[in-house]
Amino acid sequence: NAGVTQTPKFRILKIGQSMTLQCTQDMNHNYMYWYRQDPGMGLKLIYYSVGAGITDKGEVPNGYNVSRSTTEDFPLRLELAAPSQTSVYFCASSSPQNEKLFFGSGTQLSVL
Amino acid sequence: AQSVTQLDSQVPVFEEAPVELRCNYSSSVSVYLFWYVQYPNQGLQLLLKYLSGSTLVESINGFEAEFNKSQTSFHLRKPSVHISDTAEYFCASMNTGFQKLVFGTGTRLLVSP
């Protein structure tokens, strides 16, 4: 069972570059989330989606964009990378029938 | 607004000693409460959850947490820890009306021999 798959696992960007973090799940979950994890700060919600075509901002959305064209995929876009976006990014999914979130293994991003 | 507070950023203990990781939540509405565990270089995994019913919930690996509404707490305990319990533990809350999970800042449990 693949679960939630994130790519890439590691990436280094230069300031001002753009990139897309990919996330896909094979559990037919309606809900999907993007979190960032910084030392001593826990996980902060960036964006979330309750279904295909529906997205909404979380706690720290500035500098990011998302789309949800299919149930399976929920990519996170960084348009102009900044050092403040250096973090570990986690994608997660869940279903309305179960409060448990399933997490991907994370993407470690450094912006230099 | 919903928030979760974990006052201890790091808890060092010796193997076979008891441990308590503290968690307090704040919400104007009813919430579900969770503990997630993150082992080194991995994503988060659900350890246990409180939705309703018995205020004491247990995990399969010996952890337990008790929901205390009057103290707005959901502390995690284990009577005897193992080296393999070394990990970061996150308390989280979810509004019962919508599935948006809010995390605390985490507590790193360091178990030494």
Model confidence pLDDT, tens digit, residues A55-97: 999 989 999 999 999 999 999 999 999 999 999 999 999 887 7
Residue contacts between A and B (CB atoms, under 8 Å) = 49
Averaged pLDDT, B4-24:
96
- Find how far residue A51's CA is from the centre of its chain: 15
B102 burial level (CB within 10 Å; 0-12, 13-18, 19+): buried
pLDDT score of B99 more than 90: no
Which sign does the torsion angle of CA A46, A34, B72, B89 carry? negative
pLDDT score of B100 more than 80: no
Contacts of B44 in chain A (CB under 8 A): 43, 90, 92, 101, 103
- The shortest C-alpha distance from B101 to chain A (Å) reads 8
Pairwise CB contact (< 8 Å): A43 & B32: no
Pairwise CB contact (< 8 Å): A99 & B32: yes
Give the strand pairing for A31-38 and A87-95: antiparallel
Distances (CA, A) of A27 to A5, A9, B72, B105: 11, 21, 34, 28
Pairwise CB contact (< 8 Å): B100 & A100: no
Distances (CA, A) of B57 to A5, A33, B25, B71: 30, 26, 17, 17
Does the beta carbon of B45 lie under 8 angstroms from any beta carbon of chain A? yes
Does the beta carbon of B51 lie under 8 angstroms from any beta carbon of chain A? yes
Q: What does the alpha-carbon distance between residue B94 and residue B39 come to, in Å, rounded to a whole number?
A: 22
Please give the pLDDT value at position B31. Answer: 85
